[in-house]
Structure 1
Amino acid sequence: MGSDASSPVTADTALESVNVLGDETRRRMYAVVRRAGRPVTRDEAAAGVGVSRKLAAFHLDKLVDAGLLRAHYEHAGSLHRAGRRPKLYEPSGVTVQFSIPDRRHELLADMLMEAVLTEAQTEDARQAAVRVAAERGRDLGTTERRTTRPGRLGAERGVTICEHMLERYGFEPIRETTTRLRLHNCPFQPLTAKAPDLVCAMTQAFLTGYLDGLQATALRATLAPRPGECCVRISPAGT
């Protein structure tokens, strides 16, 4: 399940959404709301699926809790049922995707698209893609530093912060030591296999940019390819 390329949804959240849609009635109700093309009331959702209004309310609120729908009340000028404003439901805009291992094709596609749109006359396509990946990672690291205010980062503390980000983005980090991370999963497979030099260069640039934005100068992202794993490793600088 994903929203945009810069805000990945965790595997736990995606699994929760899949579980919510596992109920057939709830899945049909979600489809009714999506196809309506406008906000839908509980009564309309109930009629669309053929259940009671009370049961429709239960399922709709479950879909809201899972982030698949959003709810709001109609403006004050519209009164129904003894003067009460009806509650309206509409799609949240979230796309449901679930994969094991995690895949982030939307992130790769978004960076490649931006590279095409911003390619300078002094760049070739590969250089533009690597530049965009570095910028995207730097923005992510800068935002995280401003949010968490981690202070001066040594290698061990930097690895801990990186580990959380890498988990969110599907890299499946594994600690080899307290200051070294191996990335068990490449979230861009199977596309990586079609252009390994390009995708690995973009991945290294993205993670290098992230470390720069985070100001984790004690760490670096190095190429260390292993079969079936990500080609980049997070290691202490100078090793």
Structure 2
Amino acid sequence: MVASRQLTDPGNAPAQRGRRAAVLQLLRESGTPLGAAEVAERVGVHLNTARFHLDALVSEELAVRGTAPREEPGRPKVVYSAVAAEGPEGARSFRLLSDILLGVVAGAVDDPVAAATEAGRSWGAYLTDAPAPTERIGAEEGQRRLRATLEGMGFVTEAEAPAGEPADEPAAGVPEGGAGGGAEDAEGIRRLRLHHCPFREVAQRRPDIICAVHLGLMRGTVDTLRAPLTAESLEPFVTPHLCVATLRRTDLPTDRDVCDGPSAQQGPV
């Protein structure tokens, strides 16, 4: 006998139990919005308890709060309604869809990694606001904006610190995408740690394709910013929840630049 596989994604909303489940069920079965006093009476709880559970359901986006029209003067009556479930119990199958689409890409494209990288680059350019023609974006600002883009996708980013020093705080919650910075070696190599991949479950099955998309996104972002940075590589799953991107400064002088500089061109005195 073949074991069945779960084809739908687990719901984001926590399971309801006890009195809160009863309140939610009442809202779902009611043909009209209900006030807190009506909920308290029908469920058999104190008015404050009913309000507590109703407010919690609103916070969990399982119910909405509104007002009932009144004909007489006074404060409008606050009422609550359940949010309609999407499909059977709100079931979704995004993981199944992603697996199907990954299979299509892997089977229909000669070089799926290259195609995924190029697709990511195109979307990175699309998602990035290009600077004005006269605006110059430095490496630090370019990395800051890159981190802001990644944070907007759901990653938590962290610039790797110099050896022996603690890494900076993740950029989540820091205004305008957080700090840029981090360690940089003599060749302009710096590393960016990426936590909490928003596509981790899918990436674990096909890291070659999903991580190529992310690398392309980073390249498209810095290209559009015209920042002196390039995203060289992305190392997936250094730990189960950590990937590491390698960035490189492109505006540092090379050995040839140093040798060909003004001082080197001067003849003997």
TM-score (norm 2): 0.50
- CA–CA distance in 1 between the matches of 2:146 and 2:32? 40
Counterpart of 1:140 (choices 117, 127, 131) is 127
Q: What does 1:19-98 align with in structure 2 at a 5 Å threshold?
A: 24-26=18-20, 28-33=22-27, 35-36=28-29, 40-42=33-35, 43-47=37-41, 49-65=43-59, 68-74=62-68, 76=69, 85-90=76-81
Aligned residues: 198
The code of the aligned residue for 2:78 comes to: K
The code of the aligned residue for 2:207 comes to: P
Cα deviation for residue 66 of structure 1 reads 5.5
Does 2:138 align with 1:154? yes
More helix per residue:
1
Cα deviation for residue 73 of structure 1 reads 1.7
Cα deviation for residue 48 of structure 1 reads 5.4
The code of the aligned residue for 2:208 comes to: D
In 2, are the aligned partners of 1:133 and 1:203 still within 8 Å (CA)? yes
Percent of counterpart pairs with the same letter?
27
Q: What does 1:189-200 align with in structure 2 at a 5 Å threshold?
A: 189-200=200-211
Cα deviation for residue 124 of structure 1 reads 7.0
- CA–CA distance in 1 between the matches of 2:226 and 2:126? 14
Counterpart secondary structure, 1:190: helix
In 2, are the aligned partners of 1:219 and 1:234 still within 8 Å (CA)? no
The two structures, once aligned, show a CA RMSD in angstroms of: 4.8
The code of the aligned residue for 1:159 comes to: Q
What residue in structure 2 maps to residue 203 of structure 1?
214
In 2, are the aligned partners of 1:200 and 1:231 still within 8 Å (CA)? no
Judging changes above 3 Å, is the alpha-carbon distance between structure 1 residues 129 and 225 closer, same or farther for their aligned structure 2 residues? closer
Cα deviation for residue 233 of structure 1 reads 1.0
The code of the aligned residue for 2:247 comes to: S
What residue in structure 1 maps to residue 158 of structure 2?
174
The code of the aligned residue for 1:203 comes to: H
Q: What does 1:95-110 align with in structure 2 at a 5 Å threshold?
A: none
Judging changes above 3 Å, is the alpha-carbon distance between structure 1 residues 27 and 218 closer, same or farther for their aligned structure 2 residues? farther
Q: Unaligned stretches of 5+ in structure 1?
A: 1-13, 96-104
Cα deviation 1:128-164 (Å, max 9, x = unaligned): 755554454444333xx79xxxx75322233334334
In 1, are the aligned partners of 2:150 and 2:157 still within 8 Å (CA)? yes
Counterpart secondary structure, 2:143: helix
In 1, are the aligned partners of 2:34 and 2:81 still within 8 Å (CA)? no
The code of the aligned residue for 2:200 comes to: Q
Does 2:263 align with 1:235? no
Q: Unaligned stretches of 5+ in structure 2?
A: 1-11, 87-92, 162-180, 183-189, 253-269
In 2, are the aligned partners of 1:200 and 1:232 still within 8 Å (CA)? no
- CA–CA distance in 2 between the matches of 1:133 and 1:107? 19
